[in-house]
Amino acid sequence: MRLSPIIPDANGVARRSRGVHQRGVMLVEVIVYGALFIVIAGFAGGAFYRALDFSRSLRGNAQDIAQALQTGERWRAEVRSATGPARVVEEGPLRAFHIPKGENETVYLVDGRALFRSLGTNSPWVKLLSNVQNATFNRQEREGVVSWRWELELATKTKQVQVRPLFSFQAVASADAKP
């Protein structure tokens, strides 16, 4: 049997160098630690990308909500400044809300998945919202005061949602508008 050489350590104590058996154990430890690192890194990477997807989805939802609120406030201002009675026109899947403005009229058009706005007969259509699930315009009259209620539901990107993106805007027609 061959003995490994005796080598003094830093304190001057003589010790035998590690043999082949001890080097083999260290190699197995390195392989086990490497495998554990790969598994843990895989789980961490999956969690990171899942969080990144949720972050992107949250940012997109926040932008959609902000855009819907800005559109709703614009709609309310236009209903309040109408020069005549507003009206709703429905033709199949299309739903249009006409707001008279002097010689022209502003039209909000819902065609299934998007909301468009036009400022007159020769004006181009501008897409305001692109992910509309449902939109209804309802006329309400109480004690001679005419008000309009716009119910807007945005489409969701996921099947299971905790809160549906549903908005309700209400505006009273101006005093000049005749009911």
The 10s digit of each residue's pLDDT in 50-94 is 999 889 888 888 888 899 999 999 999 988 888 888 888 888 888
User: Residue 23 domain-assigned?
Assistant: no
User: Residue 53 domain-assigned?
Assistant: no
Task: Kindly tell me if the per-residue pLDDT of 1 is higher than 80.
Answer: no
**What CA–CA distance (Å, rounded) separates 36 from 13?**
36
User: Residue 158 domain-assigned?
Assistant: yes
At residue 41, the pLDDT reads 96
Sheet holding 166-172, edge to edge: 132-142, 145-154, 166-172
User: Residue 114 domain-assigned?
Assistant: yes
Task: Kindly tell me if the per-residue pLDDT of 176 is higher than 50.
Answer: no
Place of tokens 């993106």: 165
Return the SS3 of 72.
helix
User: Residue 142 domain-assigned?
Assistant: yes
At residue 15, the pLDDT reads 57
pLDDT digits (tens, 9 = 90+) for 119-166: 877 889 899 988 888 888 988 888 878 888 999 988 887 777 777 788
Sequence-distant (6+) residues with CB within 8 A of 168 are: 149, 150, 151, 152
Higher-pLDDT residue of 67, 17: 67
Confidence of residue 33 (pLDDT cuts 50, 70, 90): very high
Tokens of 35: 């495998």
Task: Report how far Cα 158 is from the mean position of its chain's Cα atoms.
Answer: 10
User: Residue 57 domain-assigned?
Assistant: no
Where do runs of H (alpha helix) occur along the chain? 20-80
* Structural domains in the chain (count): 1
Task: Report how far Cα 58 is from the mean position of its chain's Cα atoms.
Answer: 5
Q: What residue numbers bound the domain in which 115 lies?
A: 75-172
Task: Kindly tell me if the per-residue pLDDT of 13 is higher than 70.
Answer: no
User: Residue 62 domain-assigned?
Assistant: no
User: Residue 115 domain-assigned?
Assistant: yes
**What CA–CA distance (Å, rounded) separates 162 from 179?**
40
Tokens of 169: 């805007």
